[in-house]
Amino acid sequence: MSRQIKLIFGAIVIFGLLLPGVASSSSSLSADETQLLQVMHSISSHTLFNYVKELASEKYAGRLGGTEGFNRAAHWAAELFKKWGLKPVGDRGTYFQEFPIAYTLVFPGSEVVMHIPYKGATLKKYYHYFDEFIPGSTSASGEVTAEVVYVGYGVTAPELGYDDYQGVDVKGKIVLMEREVPVSPDKDRDLFLKWRPYSFHQYKLENAAAHGAKGMLYNYGPIANPNNSYREGFIYSHVGPVVVEDIFAGTGRSHKDVVAKIKKELKPQSFATGKIFTIKNKTEHHPEGKCYNVLALLEGSDPVLKNEIIIIGAHLDHLGYCYTLIPGANDNASGVAVTLGVAEALAKSPVKLKRSILFILFGSEEQGVVGSDYYCQHPVFPLEKTAAFINMDGVGCGDKLSALAAKNYPEFWAFFREANERYVHRQIRTSYFANLARPRLDAARFMWKGVPTISWSAFGARSYYHNPKDNIDTITPEIMEDLAQILFLGVVKMANAAQIDFRQGNPSN
Ligand SMILES: [Zn+2]
């Protein structure tokens, strides 16, 4: 082969690799496809990273639902939707759908302290924010000093013959409690469903308060989490293994063994630990806050098919200050950034979309998946006509993607698989989502309403969850660009397919 022919041959091979199926069947791409790929390549990791940087900055104060910081973020996103010509479909011709939310501000000055008797005096061990404790995001303001009583999972379930509070007196005391319930949905579905109501943080906190406890050390992370109840006078913090091990030290019990025993026998192992602790938090509760979902529509071009809706969404809110800024770069400024990237590309798509695309940035996901629940109770377009919901939560960190519930909806999944296999080539882990546990994603709300849903996240790099280190330093912008490109191509095809019905064949519908 001459050098020139080799070069031409090489170029054909490379072109063929980049565009399999297209290059092999015809000598050039259709005008539509060429333009589509141009728009796809206009999605830039720089732009998406800048969105994350903006949302994770001090200006938005961690975007807690109910606060001015969240409202500023909602307006910032709405301005972009407006700039791209997307239609406002919220309340009274605005981009905003309002709903009520209670919220609590946590100020600096939190403490978790162990009092150690020593030669007739008392030594104090102060724990470290935020790797040893994080203040309860819905704690009351004030200080409590009392003995710690271990109460297992904090569950009182007469119908299950189980009561963690039996035989222990917690009046005026601090309880140390595990999160969740001792049975898992993966191991025994039917048994878990009986325990499920007791897995909610709100139930556990209220049950402790109902038994007269004045405070709680919640063995949860420690992470920040505003998805809980507020009780006047009830002061709590989230603690991790350092605090838990100190409480168990010298009691003749090992924490690991006690938890394993509860799980194995489903019998409480509660006991008074003899350890004295102080929990101190400075907070301010606002029972009558308001939060918003941001709703923008790209109206379909087909007079009939435009009534079928494809939703692309991500939660915009995060945890606010607790008591330093929790920026929420990966969770979930990244999901918002990709939603915006896809929105801009679809708005500029040279191929007109027959179905309508609704973009939703949810409020108050972190406070109990509230915004998506509100939308599902007050949908702007009928849920029966909502063909699909594409959710993103934590898509900014790593080099691999996860598509939760892709195995529930193989025909829905096929659109993204094809886009990835042809153009993007990321490793994607697909999974089945039984959706039995308490809701922890906006995706759960839509699936319970029968809307076919795939929920994206990224993994494969060190990331931080619900603490101050979830900042822009951990973001890998390229994964966001790739996901946005997969979604853009998949959604264009889906919006223009002759017929789509992903509800068929899924047992959860
Ligand atoms: Zn999230």
* pLDDT tens digits, one per residue of 244-297: 999 999 999 999 999 999 999 999 999 999 999 999 999 999 999 999 999 999
Could you tell me the distance, in angstroms and rounded to a whole number, from the CA of residue 395 to the centre of ligand 1?
10
SS3 392: strand
Asked if residues 346 and 298 have their Cβ atoms less than 8 Å apart, the reply is: yes
Could you tell me the distance, in angstroms and rounded to a whole number, from the CA of residue 464 to the centre of ligand 1?
12
Could you tell me the distance, in angstroms and rounded to a whole number, from the CA of residue 304 to the centre of ligand 1?
35
How far apart CA 90 and CA 292 sit, in angstroms, is: 9
Q: Does position 396 have pLDDT exceeding 60, yes or no?
A: yes
CA torsion sign, 441 to 447 to 449 to 451? positive
How far apart CA 438 and CA 236 sit, in angstroms, is: 22
Q: What is the pLDDT of residue 211?
A: 98
* pLDDT tens digits, one per residue of 456-478: 999 999 999 999 999 999 999 99
* pLDDT tens digits, one per residue of 189-199: 999 999 999 99
Q: What is the pLDDT of residue 280?
A: 98
How far apart CA 130 and CA 137 sit, in angstroms, is: 13
* pLDDT tens digits, one per residue of 96-139: 999 999 999 999 999 999 999 999 999 999 999 999 999 999 99
Helix (H) / strand (E) containing 146: strand 142-150
Phi, psi of 295 (to 5 degrees): -120, 125
For residue 6, name the pLDDT band (cuts at 50, 70, 90).
Answer: very low
Helix (H) / strand (E) containing 259: helix 255-265
Could you tell me the distance, in angstroms and rounded to a whole number, from the CA of residue 227 to the centre of ligand 1?
12
Could you tell me the distance, in angstroms and rounded to a whole number, from the CA of residue 508 to the centre of ligand 1?
23
Nearest alpha-carbon partner for 137 in 273, 317, 292: 317
Could you tell me the distance, in angstroms and rounded to a whole number, from the CA of residue 334 to the centre of ligand 1?
10
Could you tell me the distance, in angstroms and rounded to a whole number, from the CA of residue 465 to the centre of ligand 1?
9
Could you tell me the distance, in angstroms and rounded to a whole number, from the CA of residue 138 to the centre of ligand 1?
18
Asked if residues 452 and 412 have their Cβ atoms less than 8 Å apart, the reply is: yes
Report which residue type is found at 222. P
Could you tell me the distance, in angstroms and rounded to a whole number, from the CA of residue 394 to the centre of ligand 1?
6
Percent residues over pLDDT 90 in the chain: 91
Could you tell me the distance, in angstroms and rounded to a whole number, from the CA of residue 100 to the centre of ligand 1?
20
Could you tell me the distance, in angstroms and rounded to a whole number, from the CA of residue 315 to the centre of ligand 1?
7
Average pLDDT, the chain: 94
Could you tell me the distance, in angstroms and rounded to a whole number, from the CA of residue 8 to the centre of ligand 1?
49
Could you tell me the distance, in angstroms and rounded to a whole number, from the CA of residue 320 to the centre of ligand 1?
13
Could you tell me the distance, in angstroms and rounded to a whole number, from the CA of residue 78 to the centre of ligand 1?
20
How far apart CA 480 and CA 477 sit, in angstroms, is: 5
Residue 352, number of CB atoms within 10 A of its CB: 11
Asked if residues 117 and 278 have their Cβ atoms less than 8 Å apart, the reply is: no
Could you tell me the distance, in angstroms and rounded to a whole number, from the CA of residue 328 to the centre of ligand 1?
8
Residue 291, number of CB atoms within 10 A of its CB: 28
Phi, psi of 280 (to 5 degrees): -130, 130
Could you tell me the distance, in angstroms and rounded to a whole number, from the CA of residue 361 to the centre of ligand 1?
12
Dump strand ranges (E) for 13-81. Answer: none
For residue 32, name the pLDDT band (cuts at 50, 70, 90).
Answer: confident
Could you tell me the distance, in angstroms and rounded to a whole number, from the CA of residue 2 to the centre of ligand 1?
57
Could you tell me the distance, in angstroms and rounded to a whole number, from the CA of residue 319 to the centre of ligand 1?
10
Residue 503, number of CB atoms within 10 A of its CB: 17
CA torsion sign, 222 to 61 to 459 to 417? positive
Q: Does position 19 have pLDDT exceeding 80, yes or no?
A: no
Could you tell me the distance, in angstroms and rounded to a whole number, from the CA of residue 123 to the centre of ligand 1?
40
Could you tell me the distance, in angstroms and rounded to a whole number, from the CA of residue 442 to the centre of ligand 1?
9
For residue 8, name the pLDDT band (cuts at 50, 70, 90).
Answer: very low
For residue 17, name the pLDDT band (cuts at 50, 70, 90).
Answer: very low
Q: What is the pLDDT of residue 506?
A: 56
Asked if residues 365 and 428 have their Cβ atoms less than 8 Å apart, the reply is: no
Looking up tokens 């104060």 gives 61
Where do the domains of the chain lie, and which CATH numbers do they carry? 20-85+299-496 (3.40.630.10), 109-284 (3.50.30.30)
pTM: 0.93
- Compute the chain's Rg from CA coordinates: 26
Percent residues over pLDDT 70 in the chain: 93
* pLDDT tens digits, one per residue of 483-503: 999 999 999 999 999 999 999
Token pair belonging to 120: 């007739």
Bridge partners for 96 per DSSP: 294
**Mean pLDDT on 164-176:** 98
For 12, 94, 450, the CA distances from 138, given in Å and listed in that order, are 62, 31, 32
Q: Does position 37 have pLDDT exceeding 70, yes or no?
A: yes
